[in-house]
Amino acid sequence: MSFWDNLKDKVAGMNASLQTSVSKFKNAEFANGCMAMCALIASADGSISGQEKGKIATLISVNETLKIFPAAELKTKFDFFCDKLTADYDFGRIEAIQAIGKLKSKPDQARAVIQIGIIIGGADGNFDDDEKKAVKAACAAVGIAPSDFDL
């Protein structure tokens, strides 16, 4: 089995796992962490294009895991983190990582945010090194080994 086929299988498993337990994650910290993770993936190459932002916004709106939140609320949070990353990438990255790090004491939610990052990163068929680096930084923020996700 190729790396890509293996990744697709794992992403499908992650998505199914998230959907069965996500209702207990309906809180502001989880929503912030998810949108911070999505913004980190969007900016993984150092910038966020309008097209890239639109694609991720679309993925957010159709992701079964995130349907527990109002779409407008998620868009506002996503735009907030994207704006921070666009205005000053380094400080925006720190702020996004801090938002994710707030889930460190909630391992199930922290893992779900990491899984969402992997799902969003691989959605275009190319989970590139920059996206993996962003997910690894998020793993470090919540104290989860990247190897738990084969990164």
Q: pLDDT tens, 51-87?
A: 878 888 887 788 777 888 998 899 999 999 999 999 9
pLDDT tens figures, 79-126? 999 999 999 999 999 999 999 999 999 999 999 999 999 988 887 788
> In this predicted structure, what is the pLDDT of residue 17?
57
Q: How far apart are CA 137 and CA 97, in angstroms?
A: 7
User: Are the CB atoms for 53 and 82 separated by under 8 Å?
Assistant: yes
- pLDDT value at residue 6: 58
Alpha-carbon span 110 to 46, nearest angstrom: 24
